[in-house]
Structure 1
């Protein structure tokens, strides 16, 4: 149960029972009425702004109206106290029996607790990573990969039908450069001395194994055939090899995609898919022949001072019109982007999400313009921009990779600190805020290391059951037996944990709606903090320990609470893409 949604309904029914009307006699608009946790936890468990947003409409003082609503709630058996604070907030303190019942529901649902049907099965496409297949993944790709994957997990948990997609940029100049770079390594593998890598080619050592593979497969045949034919073969082999490397790197980070979409496929059949997209825009009146003025500053590669086929994107929110076809009839890079979005729309997606690096901020308006032109209001488009990650080790900037030549590879980072610290810490800041990642700090075993603190809470929850099993001689604690004793939970620390657990369904839905998976990491840290605090209270006061040998019924009740904490930690960490360990090593 989402208790905040439940009490939103209760507030609406309470207002209806009070028969409140607008000054004109019409029924009240309750769309602005909200139920949320109070800013000050000492005020209660839930708070509503109903009196403040409705007072003017009904012609009453907000506090006086708040008092009416509060008095009405005194008849609710789940409400222990109803008070009015500030300008008219109505604060409700809920009974222990209410919280005990909610805890029982959590035990019934296990790790499915918090799962929502909010999305209603609507089709969502989340495109993330989409790194050029020209080399290994580097840490710069890591943040977008984690944000996109965790968001996809979150949306699926909230009831959406999610497709995780990777766009393979396997056409264009960068693939020609890759082919030339691999050809150089192929010649080197055949014994040719290669000194300095020519400017403009990829210098990393990661291409050497591919050069040796080509030498073993083809011998000198590639040197004997026409250069264009040989380069085509090498480019195909290179993209295949690089994508294999990228898939392996992503797997090491527990990143998965459902679809790998090839840019090259858009150009097949004489650019059939691109022509179809341009025809679609033309039929909708968004394409014309014309010339663009020279841009301010540096001119882009595809700018021409000639008549071109242009997208009238300024009429759908863009800053400038965009070229689709050059004067010689060839397609621009942007034309492929249009065709790719049309393909997504043709596949029936209702929501399109792009997770891009901050250096792609200039793409936002043009993507929004394409969506408006192709689909009008039939699709929601969201672009999430991920700011840079700065790498440190013990406070000192990290040097570049020896293997890649220019950057720290994602695999090197995973091998050094592990998958879970990377995934958790990449979500411990909002995606549009800069993030510092220190290789030493993320492996510290202290409260200052959030991922350790959360995973340690998971390990402690398992430890509580092991202790109980040893001391009570029980090998299996059934949820039904634990649920039957929950009425014995009355300690304020225990109730605080139940209240925090009760926030989880709302957290899932609000994070999914806002497309902010970082909220999961913050919530899990707060939950872990409360759990550790209650554990420490038991260390100081024997009566508060989770396991009391002389009181098996209370032990079962407290283990029920521990089980619910474990379930939510397991669920939340799974959405982040990390493990909920049973012990720390």
Structure 2
């Protein structure tokens, strides 16, 4: 409804400006200031004041008259009128807007847009399989999963990929160390009882050996490491299997960690795939034949000055072995063949590499307009016991453990009476602690613009009163509580399965009986949700959804304080408010799900 209303406003204003022989390139349509009772406004009068030689309020009045004429002549479904508030044009909705919003909101899938018949691959996380996932990289799976979710909700056919670096020197060192050393050679026990924490000790041992052993021993080790790299390059099956023995074990543990967020993947695409199928060699041959290719410093390189990049891209070593970027070029050409769009989530330290990749793909005659990157800054560590872990760094698992522990303490404090009275079991407390703790981490990370650095603060992330995940999760729990009370009192539930005894006839609910400002403001926020999804997907910015959840949570809490539902004055008003609660529940649940935050049914 809001999307259509916005479209009708754009049409009416553009036609009115054209009728006045005024430019239509900037309509100035925006959310009005809070003190204005309107859903959409236009500040175009500010831009046009100089051109017309009049004050903005006078210009707004003239434009409003022209807009009103357009509305009178048109057959708009949701745009009913335009008013003037100083320099602003305020656009008003029809009664059908409220009815249709409420009727749509009680659908459990509310907010999901129509199928676009467009395939998108979202590649994210892709941490090297050398050990546990570090907390500094936690932003990648959280942002990546939310980007994929919002695209899915917006009607795209989404695949989630993890690109596995299984061909570089790191994996050759890891494989050599795993085959060379045994448990007695390792100094410390695993930091956690999971396979990647166990095996990373071999990787660390191998690196320390290469730094500290006698030169002749290091030379022998380097020869073996180089033979592994050459074996992969040559497509030797035995070498491939040796490396995969390590890669697959470490990756399985990393998947267990990511499942805690959760962040799921449709496919783990291995780098060696593009060596084994010949596409990496084909890329190198095509680049060597290009005019931008030069052989300098014992390597083949591309000069990318034409793209404003002053650092050459090295794509082939003197010994004929490829580099990570060469293989990633083959990977990206494959993605462009398989998908309509390709989105990659990258840390800020990969920006130069991404620019080089895009320029090179353009040299190779690819349509780089179908490639999009989401660049993020890193997460600074919280204070407290997270600061050290026996010198091994802080892992994502550590952050999630502490989040759950802190959430459990908060839940037990807040729900002490209910726990004492046996209303909540230990399992309930544990469920809520996981939902709140993990939700707090995800929400705090995804709610910030990706390019801005984050300093994680526990007190803010777990604040039930502030605009955090628990604050919004509590709105969903409140909605569920009201609906449960209604069901217990045999009051028909709007949006329930029409075959059930507790179903209400949605078509009989009149949204226009919702006369309080709080109810109408809440309904207005609900109406915006599909447009929020559309905007977040268009801009690849899931934090837009997070900002929206704070607004609808505020609106719901105002409604909750001022508008009794089950004890409303009339059955008609009760049913309308109950429908509004139902629509709020679905909207909040779907918005939180896009962000990867669980919507609890009780808190």
Coarse TM-score class (shorter-chain normalised): 0.7 to 0.9
Please say if 1:398 is aligned against 2:397: no
TM-superposed CA distance for 1:369, in Å, is: 1.2
Partner residue in 2 for 1:380: 370
Relative to structure 1, is the Cα distance of residues 34 and 323 closer, same or farther in structure 2, using a 3 angstrom cutoff? same
After TM superposition, the structure 1 stretch with the greater mean CA deviation from structure 2, 499-508 or 315-324, is: 315-324
CA contact (8 A) 1:73 1:79 kept: no
TM-superposed CA distance for 1:364, in Å, is: 3.2
Partner residue in 1 for 2:454: 435
Task: Give me the whole-angstrom Cα distance separating, in 1, the residues matched to 2:186 and 2:64.
Answer: 82
Partner residue in 2 for 1:200: none
Among 42, 46, 70, the alignment partner of 2:40 is: 46
Partner residue in 2 for 1:257: 265
Please say if 1:164 is aligned against 2:183: no
Partner residue in 1 for 2:430: none
TM-superposed CA distance for 1:429, in Å, is: 1.4
TM-superposed CA distance for 1:207, in Å, is: 1.8
How many residue pairs get matched?
521
TM-superposed CA distance for 1:239, in Å, is: 0.7
Please say if 1:129 is aligned against 2:128: no
Relative to structure 1, is the Cα distance of residues 374 and 162 closer, same or farther in structure 2, using a 3 angstrom cutoff? farther
Aligned to 1:130, what secondary structure does the other structure show? coil
Partner residue in 2 for 1:365: 355
CA offsets 1:366-405 (integer angstroms, 9 cap, x no match): 123123323455533332222221232xx53623335xx5
Among 100, 104, 110, the alignment partner of 1:113 is: 110
Task: Give me the whole-angstrom Cα distance separating, in 1, the residues matched to 2:188 and 2:502.
Answer: 67
TM-superposed CA distance for 1:80, in Å, is: 5.8
Relative to structure 1, is the Cα distance of residues 282 and 491 closer, same or farther in structure 2, using a 3 angstrom cutoff? same
CA offsets 1:105-153 (integer angstroms, 9 cap, x no match): 4236x23332234x83333222110000111222222211010110011
Q: How does 1:395-434 map to 2 (within 5 A)?
A: 395-396=383-384, 398-401=386-389, 406-416=392-402, 417=404, 418=434, 419-434=438-453
Relative to structure 1, is the Cα distance of residues 235 and 276 closer, same or farther in structure 2, using a 3 angstrom cutoff? closer
Task: Give me the whole-angstrom Cα distance separating, in 1, the residues matched to 2:243 and 2:285.
Answer: 31
Q: How does 1:368-517 map to 2 (within 5 A)?
A: 368-375=358-365, 377=367, 379-392=369-382, 395-396=383-384, 398-401=386-389, 406-416=392-402, 417=404, 418=434, 419-439=438-458, 442-444=461-463, 446-448=464-466, 450-471=468-489, 477-478=502-503, 480-481=505-506, 484-517=509-542
TM-superposed CA distance for 1:461, in Å, is: 0.3
Partner residue in 2 for 1:533: 558
Aligned to 2:455, what secondary structure does the other structure show? strand
Among 31, 34, 54, the alignment partner of 1:37 is: 31
CA contact (8 A) 1:324 1:335 kept: yes
Task: Give me the whole-angstrom Cα distance separating, in 2, the residues matched to 1:261 and 1:204.
Answer: 19
Please say if 1:275 is aligned against 2:286: no
**Structure 1: runs of 5+ lacking an equivalent:** 23-27, 198-202, 212-225, 292-303, 538-543
Among 304, 316, 322, the alignment partner of 1:313 is: 304
Aligned to 2:456, what secondary structure does the other structure show? strand
TM-superposed CA distance for 1:335, in Å, is: 1.7
Please say if 1:328 is aligned against 2:319: yes
Partner residue in 2 for 1:564: 583
Task: Give me the whole-angstrom Cα distance separating, in 2, the residues matched to 1:323 and 1:289.
Answer: 10
Task: Give me the whole-angstrom Cα distance separating, in 2, the residues matched to 1:150 and 1:194.
Answer: 39
CA contact (8 A) 1:99 1:498 kept: no
Partner residue in 1 for 2:199: 207
Task: Give me the whole-angstrom Cα distance separating, in 1, the residues matched to 2:116 and 2:240.
Answer: 46
Partner residue in 1 for 2:2: 2
Aligned to 2:136, what secondary structure does the other structure show? helix
TM-score norm. by structure 2 comes to 0.77
Task: Give me the whole-angstrom Cα distance separating, in 2, the residues matched to 1:123 and 1:205.
Answer: 36
CA contact (8 A) 1:210 1:238 kept: no
Deviating beyond 6 angstroms after TM superposition, the runs of 4 or more aligned structure 1 residues are 54-61, 208-211, 226-232
CA offsets 1:395-428 (integer angstroms, 9 cap, x no match): 53623335xx512332333344233222222212
TM-superposed CA distance for 1:547, in Å, is: 1.5
Aligned to 2:444, what secondary structure does the other structure show? helix
Please say if 1:243 is aligned against 2:251: yes
CA contact (8 A) 1:70 1:83 kept: yes
Partner residue in 1 for 2:411: none
Relative to structure 1, is the Cα distance of residues 488 and 9 closer, same or farther in structure 2, using a 3 angstrom cutoff? closer
Cα RMSD, aligned residues only: 3.4
Task: Give me the whole-angstrom Cα distance separating, in 1, the residues matched to 2:506 and 2:197.
Answer: 60
CA contact (8 A) 1:485 1:557 kept: yes
After TM superposition, the structure 1 stretch with the greater mean CA deviation from structure 2, 495-504 or 355-364, is: 355-364
**Structure 2: runs of 5+ lacking an equivalent:** 73-77, 190-194, 204-223, 229-237, 405-433, 494-500
CA offsets 1:206-250 (integer angstroms, 9 cap, x no match): 228999xxxxxxxxxxxxxx9979987653211110111112222
CA contact (8 A) 2:130 2:250 kept: yes
Relative to structure 1, is the Cα distance of residues 421 and 7 closer, same or farther in structure 2, using a 3 angstrom cutoff? closer
